[in-house]
């Protein structure tokens, strides 16, 4: 696990791009008050997911409207059909840590 930021750096309902060992990750503080981390590129078009909209436990790509489940990386709305990598997240002592070994088995 690699420390990426303080939990207070990411407001609830916000996504930010963090770079972890050279990998761009969208770190999301979702509406359920949990933190999620997904590869920061839509599987349909090469645009950053961290610039998208959060609704519940989904993240919407701003370009074509594909939605991804933050827990599984699976697309929940077209045009994307391929999942994105999901990375384990832990919050310890007020800091956010990410593990770059995808929990859903999808790699980039």
User: What was the pLDDT predicted at 77?
Assistant: 85
pLDDT of residue 108 exceeding 80:
no
Q: What is the pTM of this model?
A: 0.94
User: What was the pLDDT predicted at 42?
Assistant: 96
Spell out a b/e string for 29-44, using b for 16 or more CB atoms within 10 Å of the CB, else e.
bbeeeebbbbbbbbbb
Say which residues have a Cβ less than 8 Å from residue 71's Cβ, sequence separation at least 6: 36, 57, 86
């Amino acid at each position: 696990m690699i420390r990426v930021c303080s939990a207070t750096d990411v407001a609830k309902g916000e996504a930010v791009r963090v770079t972890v060992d050279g990998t761009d990750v969208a770190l999301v503080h979702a509406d359920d008050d949990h933190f999620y981390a997904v590869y920061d590129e839509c599987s349909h078009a090469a645009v950053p997911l961290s610039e998208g909209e959060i609704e519940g436990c989904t993240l919407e790509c701003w370009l074509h409207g594909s939605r991804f489940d933050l827990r599984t990386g699976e697309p929940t709305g077209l045009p994307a059909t391929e999942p994105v990598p999901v990375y384990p997240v832990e919050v310890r002592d007020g800091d956010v840590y990410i593990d770059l070994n995808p929990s859903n088995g999808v790699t980039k």
